[in-house]
């Protein structure tokens, strides 16, 4: 199906190197975008085979964050090339066992509902927070603990239903089971801004994790199911997970049908819809916050300004610039699970940047479940009091404080 033509403009200038979180972690060109392009071209020419362990190691170590793309003056389509390389590797040698197992879980809703349901139970008992820490397993508990609502007391009242465009809420898997409070906040804040939010049953996982791992088959299967469930009735499909949104917007490419392209054209990140309406100003929320841009929002979807517009609608909120906020946190889908060492090195850079901020923010705002969990766990491991929250959560609290909910 694909090829590597998107890599053709590469002139080997190396400008992408410092834009790559894994290169910054190791300073080894084998872990850089330019180095990986060399590997992909060798794979294309047949100079290296798909089962070459070194080739696989360094391509597997790519976060897929596409932070290199905006740094590239030649417009190399790195993401497309990586997708093709991973497809070829998966097709010829298959997925690694841990990846296969994990993707298997995400591929069947019974499986992920059971797994994340258990996780939520552990979280709600307070066990996750208790066990959170720095080792590999304890970081995992930290991730689970980080999915908890940023505030214990959630708004209980509801706003008046909007009368404007109709919006289908994409529920996803992790978001649906562990971040239900973000879905609630999404519904309420969209309603305040005039949207009519419609719940659509029968959806599942978006397939992004499968797609990134080279399992385009699996991704396409999940995509077709979502397409069928959501249909063509609403004006928009809203997503509050950057990773899911990026793939939903790319269903046209993944599925290759006209219906998929029409579907993809209706997909919006929640901050895009909110920013289109202002958003409406809320009540005062005197907090220090720094925004960290999810890769799949800023690079894949090119949504950069809108999350800041959402935070800008909150009076009293002090938004600080986080150095390297455009750099990946090391979560990257199942990356933190299958490449724990590199993921941790990349995360450490992020936590260090947060640690050196003055004043230290109360919340890091970021609009992707992986990032929320990864950064949240990193903060707990580092013993920092800073917590994580989705931008719409903050807006939701602001609306509650401002009396926007009856």
Helical (H) or strand (E) element with 67: none
58 is a site residue for other proteins (CB under 8 A):
yes
148 is a site residue for other proteins (CB under 8 A):
no
Q: At its nearest, how many Å lie between other proteins and the CB of residue 46?
A: 10
Choice between 34 and 183, CB closer to other proteins:
34
Q: Reduce the DSSP state of residue 70 to 3 states and report it.
A: helix
Name 243's Cβ contacts closer than 8 Å, sequence gap at least 6.
206, 208, 209, 294, 296, 333, 368, 369, 370
Name 262's Cβ contacts closer than 8 Å, sequence gap at least 6.
232
How many helices (H) and strands (E) the chain has is answered by: 23, 8
Choice between 122 and 353, CB closer to other proteins:
353
302 is a site residue for other proteins (CB under 8 A):
no
- Do 372 and 366 form a contact (C-beta atoms < 8 A)? yes
353 is a site residue for other proteins (CB under 8 A):
no
305 is a site residue for other proteins (CB under 8 A):
no
Among 75, 97, 359, 383, binds other proteins (CB under 8 A): 75
Choice between 259 and 357, CB closer to other proteins:
357
Q: Point out which residues pair with 364 in neighbouring strands.
A: 290, 388
Q: At its nearest, how many Å lie between other proteins and the CB of residue 216?
A: 24
Q: At its nearest, how many Å lie between other proteins and the CB of residue 137?
A: 23
Specify the pairing of strand 236-239 against strand 166-169.
Answer: parallel
Choice between 40 and 239, CB closer to other proteins:
40
Q: How far is CA 202 from CA 39, 264, 363, in A?
A: 41, 18, 34
Binding mask 3-42 for other proteins (x = CB under 8 A): -----xxxxxxxxxxx--------xxxx-x-xxx-xx--x
Q: Tell me if the bond preceding 120 is cis, omega within 30° of 0.
A: no
77 is a site residue for other proteins (CB under 8 A):
no
Among 55, 68, 254, 300, binds other proteins (CB under 8 A): 55
Provide the strand spans (E) within 118-206: 166-169, 196-199
**Closest listed residue to residue 82, CA positions, set 103, 57, 101, 63:** 63
Choice between 63 and 371, CB closer to other proteins:
63
- Which residues are at the interface with other proteins (CB under 8 A)? 8-18, 27-30, 32, 34-36, 38-39, 42, 47-48, 52-55, 58, 70-75
């Amino acid at each position: 199906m694909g090829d590597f033509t998107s890599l053709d403009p590469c002139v080997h200038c190396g400008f992408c190197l410092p834009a790559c979180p894994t290169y910054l972690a190791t300073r080894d060109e084998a872990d850089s975008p330019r180095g990986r392009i060399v590997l992909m071209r060798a794979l294309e020419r047949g100079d290296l085979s798909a089962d070459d362990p070194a080739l696989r190691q360094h391509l597997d170590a790519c976060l897929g964050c596409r932070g290199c793309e905006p740094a590239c003056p030649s417009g190399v389509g790195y993401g497309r090339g990586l997708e093709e390389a991973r497809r070829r590797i998966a097709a010829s040698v298959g997925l690694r066992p841990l990846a296969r197992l994990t993707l298997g879980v995400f591929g069947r809703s019974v499986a992920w509902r059971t797994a994340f349901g258990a996780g939520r139970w552990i979280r709600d008992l307070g066990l996750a927070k208790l066990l959170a820490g720095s080792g590999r397993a304890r970081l995992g508990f930290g991730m689970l603990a980080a999915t908890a609502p940023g505030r214990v007391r959630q708004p209980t009242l509801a706003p008046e239903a909007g009368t404007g465009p109709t919006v289908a809420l994409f529920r996803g898997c992790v978001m649906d089971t562990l971040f239900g409070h973000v879905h609630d906040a999404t519904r309420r804040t969209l309603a305040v801004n005039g949207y009519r939010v419609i719940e659509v049953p029968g959806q599942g996982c978006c397939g992004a994790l499968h797609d990134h791992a080279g399992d385009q088959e699996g991704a396409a299967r999940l995509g077709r199911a979502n397409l069928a469930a959501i249909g063509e009735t609403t004006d928009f499909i809203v997503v509050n997970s950057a990773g899911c949104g990026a793939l939903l917007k790319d269903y046209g490419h993944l599925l290759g049908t006209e219906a998929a392209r029409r579907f993809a054209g209706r997909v919006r990140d929640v901050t895009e819809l909110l920013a289109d309406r202002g958003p409406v100003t809320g009540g005062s929320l005197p907090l220090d916050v720094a925004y960290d841009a999810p890769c799949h929002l800023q690079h894949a979807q090119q949504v950069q300004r809108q999350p800041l517009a959402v935070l800008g609608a909150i009076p009293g909120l002090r938004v600080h610039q986080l150095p390297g906020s455009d750099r990946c946190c090391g979560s990257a889908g199942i990356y933190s699970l299958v490449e724990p060492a590199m993921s941790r090195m990349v995360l450490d850079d992020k936590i260090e940047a947060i640690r050196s901020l003055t004043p230290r923010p109360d919340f890091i705002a970021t609009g992707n479940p992986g990032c929320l969990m990864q950064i949240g766990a990193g903060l707990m491991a580092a013993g920092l009091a800073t917590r994580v929250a989705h931008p719409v959560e903050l807006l939701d609290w602001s609306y509650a404080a401002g009396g926007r909910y009856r």
